[in-house]
Structure 1
Amino acid sequence: MRHRMSISLALAGLCCVLSGCSDVPAGMAKVSGTVTWNGVPIEAGYINFDPDSGATPQSGKIEQGEFSLLAPVGMNTVRIEANKEVGFVEAMNQPAFKQYIPPQYNFESELSEEVEEGVHNEFQFSLEGQET
């Protein structure tokens, strides 16, 4: 009985390897990389991969200038957002924040990247300009 179980597990493992079994869903790929603003890593923000295919966009956090997420395979428009504290709203008893990355990197993004299936995609975004 023990011998049969070992053979069954070995065959299941072989089938998984041959069929491309992985923790990444079909049509998605691992992406990671860095984001800097005028040469300085973005402390906290978000990055969005919006596929030209019309598939669902995927977002991830930027922390200490680094990001890692699953993104749709194919050509993607990349949008990057980051806020900084600009004051305090007494009426709401909380800090006020302002988007400081210019629109050409987010709402009107000129950034695009090809995400390839079956590989780990590594991207570096070196954003430069005047704060908005």
Structure 2
Amino acid sequence: MRPLVIALFLCFLLILTGCSKDDGKVNVEGTVTWNGQPLESGKITFLSPGKSSEAANIDHGSFSIRTSPGQKNIGVTAFKEISIKDERGDTPQVRDHQYIPHEYNENSDLVTTISETNEPVNFKLTGEEIPPPTNLDVTNRRPDIPGNSRSDRATENRRPR
């Protein structure tokens, strides 16, 4: 019985040491501004080439994320609620409208390097908001704007490519 207790105790110690390994990630905090003002709410995505992406919520212009050091492609999205009528004259539908230009999300060229020293990362985005659509497309009930057909949309979450 005593060898069994010792063996179980050693297994328990091995499990504990396995759980406490460093995952190689660092805490990163930063800010996102849109045309000089803190981005009220949105999402920021960090994508390492060849690896999975990590995302954090943006709240009052600030975000905090735990990610691995290295070069990251960055995507930023933000939504506003809009009301849209369809061509049948139905009751307007409330939809989320992604208003940050595509050059900051699905076609983003934003790149940053995350250091191991927890340096803040700040993004100053500028430009014109994507205008809200005026009607809904009959076939897919999505806002009828250029580049919004199912074949044109490469991704729904708008992460950087």
What TM-score does the superposition give when structure 1 sets the normalisation length? 0.72
Kindly provide the amino acid, as one letter, of the partner of residue 122 in structure 1. Answer: P
Match of 2:27 among 21, 27, 30: 30
Match of 1:124 among 104, 122, 125: 122
Q: What's the offset of the Cα at 1:97? A: 1.3
Q: What's the offset of the Cα at 1:93? A: 9.3
Whether the 8 Å contact between 2:83 and 2:92 is mirrored in structure 1 is no
1:92 to 1:43, Cα distance in 2 relative to 1, 3 A: farther
> Which is higher, the Rg of structure 1 or of structure 2?
2
Aligned to 1:56: 52
Q: How many residues align?
A: 109
Q: What's the offset of the Cα at 1:110? A: 1.0
Aligned to 1:68: 64
Match of 2:43 among 41, 46, 49: 46
Q: What's the offset of the Cα at 1:86? A: 1.3
SS of 2:103's equivalent in the other structure is helix
Counterpart CA distance in 1 for 2:59 and 2:94 is: 20
SS of 2:127's equivalent in the other structure is coil
Where structure 2 has 5 or more consecutive residues not aligned to the other structure, the ranges are: 1-19, 131-161
Cα-to-partner distance string for 1:25-75 (whole Å, 9 max, x where unaligned): 4332211111111111111100000012x2221100000110001122210
Counterpart CA distance in 2 for 1:122 and 1:94 is: 40
Where structure 1 has 5 or more consecutive residues not aligned to the other structure, the ranges are: 1-20
SS of 1:104's equivalent in the other structure is helix
Whether the 8 Å contact between 1:50 and 1:56 is mirrored in structure 2 is yes
SS of 1:79's equivalent in the other structure is strand
Whether the 8 Å contact between 1:50 and 1:57 is mirrored in structure 2 is yes
How much is the aligned-residue C-alpha RMSD, in angstroms? Answer: 2.5
Query: Identity over aligned residues, as a percent?
Result: 35
